[in-house]
Structure 1
Amino acid sequence: MQLYLLRHGIAEENSPNGSDADRGLTAEGRRKLRQVLQAAADVGIEPTLILTSPLKRAVQTAEIARQVLKYKNELLRTKALVPGATVEQVWDEIRAHRGEPSLVLVGHNPLFGELAAYLLGSKDVQIDVKKGALLRIDLESFPAHPRGVLRWHLTAKLAADRE
């Protein structure tokens, strides 16, 4: 499986109603996210499934991914990707979709930094997943404790530098 971790783009500091769950993406966040996703599209990424946190900024990020990556299916929302979820909960969700050749997860930090380390088989690894960043981790099997391979980590800065 080619697993992609896509952290949501830059979001508003506060939502109009004060709820963290309702914070949306900023114009800058949308722009930078499109750059990252266009770079991904340019190398042929074609997700077979996109799972997203149900929080507004993550859903908006997933919608942009759907457009740029030409994903035609429904976005699936899962509580396994909300802030406060555990890496084990996310791993269970990934394992439930092990038949997908190309899975995109859209979510938040610190979960995604911790998840990347967990998927690579080491809690000692520290990966700083910036807003709007996209990581590819390849998984060959789905044991109780994963041992994936990090193929690349694309940030908004790297995507902007290629233009």
Structure 2
Amino acid sequence: MKTLILMRHAKSDWGDPRLPDSARPLNARGCRAATALGLWLRTQDLAPDQILCSSAVRTQETCTRLKLDTAPDLHDALYLAEADEMLTVLRRATGSLVLMLGHNPGIAEFAALLVAPPPDHERFDDYPTGATLIARFDIADWAALQPGSGTVLQFLTPRDLP
């Protein structure tokens, strides 16, 4: 069995229009949300043994604020990646419990591609900042991952947390 935590970065700061998109940091709300998501992951005993993270500043800051013990593998290919590119990166994963941090719209498309049926959550289709899908796959190796083969264990947004 393999488990995926598919998380969109937390809310980013648009305050400095001179920054390139990839350099935008988290805003205060995003910092709080990432910290809360990390606490939730730890209390659910969802400590990933591999983290696949977009190289953008906001995904790296989200990852740091999760306070997990695993160092992230940074991937330029995950920056604004479409679903097919995310699938390619995940199929190369080696961990059993993998966290992938990315961006919309690709991450919403990827989540919808992976699981059947989708979770009954009003925000699944638009995958807001901080949205997190936990899905299990009955495979021995990520290379065998097929679309629609995931079983949803949980889907939540930062607003769903206490």
Query: Is TM more than 0.5 here?
Result: yes
Task: Rate the CA distance shift 1:45–1:144 in 2: closer, same or farther, 3 A.
Answer: closer
Number of aligned residues: 153
CA contact (8 A) 2:115 2:147 kept: no
User: 4+ runs of 1 displaced by more than 6 Å?
Assistant: none
Alpha-carbon distance in 1 for matches of 2:77, 2:148: 17
Letter in 1 for 2:21: D
TM-score normalised over the length of structure 1: 0.84
Unaligned residue ranges in structure 1 (runs of 5+)? none
- Identity of paired residues, percent? 24
Pick one of 101, 108, 127 that aligns with 1:106: 101
Q: TM-score, normalised by structure 2?
A: 0.84
The answer to whether the 8 Å contact 2:48/2:98 transfers is yes
- Spell out the pairing of 1:84-163 with structure 2 (5 A cutoff): 85-97=81-93, 99-120=94-115, 127-141=125-139, 142-159=144-161, 162=162
Q: CA offset at residue 91 of structure 1?
A: 1.1
Alignment partners' CA distance in 2, 1:78 and 1:29: 21
- Superposition pairs of residues 1-163 of structure 1, within 5 angstroms: 1-15=2-16, 17-65=18-66, 67=67, 69=68, 71=69, 73-83=70-80, 85-97=81-93, 99-120=94-115, 127-141=125-139, 142-159=144-161, 162=162
- Is contact 1:80–1:86 with CA below 8 Å preserved after alignment? no
Shift in Å, 1:18:
2.7
The answer to whether the Cα contact below 8 Å between 2:34 and 2:130 also exists between their aligned partners in 1 is yes
Tell me the distance in 2 between the aligned counterparts of 1:158 and 1:6.
Answer: 14
User: SS at the partner of 1:11?
Assistant: coil
Q: Counterpart amino acid of 1:120?
A: V
1:118 maps to amino acid: L
Given the superposition, is the C-alpha separation of residues 143 and 106 from structure 1 closer, same or farther in structure 2, using an over 3 Å criterion? closer
What SS class does the counterpart of residue 147 from structure 1 fall into?
coil
Q: Give, in whole Å, the separation in 1 of the partners of 2:146 and 2:29.
A: 39
The 1:105/1:114 distance shift into structure 2, 3 A limit, reads same
Q: Which runs of 5+ in 2 are unaligned?
A: none
Q: 1:59 to 1:15 in 2, by over 3 A?
A: farther
Aligned-residue Cα RMSD (Å) equals: 2.1
Q: Deviations over 1:40-88 (max 9, x none)?
A: 21111110011110011011111112x1x3x1x43111133111x2212
